[in-house]
Structure 1
């Protein structure tokens, strides 16, 4: 995920300061890793440096000084360009679960036990996400984010089921080499 483009998207709604951008990011992308304040301010400085955003003003209003940023026309064009780009499917489909199963097979571990435990963790996460998205107070960002995560977890579960069914064959292939 491109933090610079996400911040440009949040600035498209109007001028804002870093604290508010961080809060809105965390609200709009509830299943994403929360942004650190340092990351927000560093990214804003780079956006200003690159001409994609500019400082609108600074005020303290009796509290800490807050700098307000706004997107430039160049920033709006960059955001439109980025948002229209098709995200290519990942060229390499390796994740930690896959790697642990392969290493477990190679090292003579118990990949079936690992898959069973991982399956249980996935199912628990799916229960929590389903409860989150079916909460009557859930906003659209929460529901969409939960649906996205649920679909990925479901794909992982299908892969785990297929792999568990093939473990005898996979282990025999490794043993033969």
Structure 2
């Protein structure tokens, strides 16, 4: 697994500042500047060791979906990330916070059905919260992430990851397309 995924802009900046070494490049993708053409790195390596941060992981949609295994906390069905949202167990209307301890993964149908309903009233609409939200550790998220490898789009990544483009699981993988405006380097 890569340590992280960087946008192509972050990658080029780090290369120009000498903070990373380029390990692999996309053979046909170049960044054009005013006075030069820079081959876009596909795999980079940090030049200095960065101690892992074992504090509470950042609260992001991706991390939330990983914590909850891409599963709705109300109907227990699995979904692609595009079909998910997050739900405040105690709605913000009642003072609920956007935090690990108050937010769960929800499919759009269940989230819409629940709306701003107080958790004590879920039974009135035939719903119940199937899992209690809790703060994950970085280790737990890393273990979950191993279940959802990127759906590889380029051969240059294969040697550096523990799975190949041909064998990556299309159903559970994560889309990383180098052609989009938020392309990423492993």
Q: Same fold (TM over 0.5)?
A: no
Richer in helix (by share) = 1
TM-score (norm 1): 0.28
Larger radius of gyration: 1
Structure possessing the higher relative contact order (Cα contacts under 8 Å, 6 or more residues apart): 2
